[in-house]
């Protein structure tokens, strides 16, 4: 039995007299409601997944632009990768200071400020244990990163590492899972 809304609509439309004999509790109406509900559910799940993956896409996009800005295609050292990570982590400092300066004295922090502080704290904790980035110390991987088309499906070909604040480097996997 078809579950896709378009398939159900097409199947019902082909029936003889379907347009006039469709009433509220008919089998066809129930099929349409179930297919519509399933379609809505799948759309919500897809939107939630895209929203959850967005921070990783932004992170890799930042490192791709940093890789494209360097003249030579020489691999980066751990120190230069750490410098890029620190630049990336400080990207919200100006926005946070602006939000804090606009707040009147004695007022509680806004939701946007709390969210921003929480994100900064989570990323700082991740950097202490190992920040997940594309491996820019590998020349072949660096070339693939420069050619990435900014889509999630294109990330499977890249190699990843976790760079910690103390300078340790661990090979990681894709997609990021815990401390892999």
pLDDT in tens, 55-80: 889 999 999 999 888 776 788 888 99
pLDDT digit string, tens, across residues 118-170 = 999 999 999 998 899 999 988 899 889 999 998 888 888 999 999 999 989 98
Whether the per-residue pLDDT at 83 is higher than 60: the answer is yes
Helix (H) / strand (E) element for 95: namely helix 93-102
Please report whether residue 93 resides in a domain: yes
- What's the pLDDT score for residue 68? 87
CATH of the domain at 120: 1.20.1440.170
Please report whether residue 69 resides in a domain: yes
**Domains held by the chain: number:** 1
Is 38 within 8 Å of 5 (Cβ atoms)?
yes
- What's the pLDDT score for residue 48? 95
Q: Can you give the residue range of the structural domain that contains 45?
A: 5-172
Please report whether residue 178 resides in a domain: no
- What's the pLDDT score for residue 5? 79
pTM of this structure: 0.76
Strand 131-134 and strand 160-163: the pairing is: antiparallel
Q: What number is the average pLDDT over the span 4-12? A: 79
Please report whether residue 49 resides in a domain: yes
Please report whether residue 177 resides in a domain: no
Please report whether residue 64 resides in a domain: yes
Q: Please state, in angstroms and as integers, the Cα–Cα distance from residue 128 to each residue in 13, 110, 131, following that order.
A: 60, 27, 8
Please list the residues that pair with 169 across neighbouring strands. 163
pLDDT digit string, tens, across residues 29-45 = 888 888 889 999 999 99
- What's the pLDDT score for residue 6? 82
């Amino acid at each position: 039995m078809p579950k896709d809304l378009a398939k159900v609509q097409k199947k019902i439309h082909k029936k003889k007299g379907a347009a006039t004999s469709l009433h509220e509790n008919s089998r066809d109406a129930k099929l349409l409601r179930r297919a519509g509900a399933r379609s809505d559910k799948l759309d919500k799940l897809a939107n939630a997944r895209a929203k959850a993956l967005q921070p990783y896409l932004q992170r890799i996009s930042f490192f791709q632009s940093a890789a494209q800005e360097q003249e030579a295609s020489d691999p980066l050292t751990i120190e230069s990768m750490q410098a890029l990570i620190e630049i990336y982590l400080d990207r919200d400092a100006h926005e946070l200071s602006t939000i804090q300066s606009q707040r009147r004295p004695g007022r509680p922090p806004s939701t946007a400020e709390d969210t921003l502080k929480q994100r900064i704290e989570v990323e700082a904790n991740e950097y202490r244990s190992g920040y997940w980035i594309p491996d820019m110390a590998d020349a072949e991987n660096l070339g693939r990163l420069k050619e990435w088309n900014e889509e999630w499906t294109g990330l499977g070909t890249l190699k990843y590492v976790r760079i910690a604040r103390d300078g340790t480097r661990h090979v990681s996997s894709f997609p990021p899972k815990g401390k892999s």
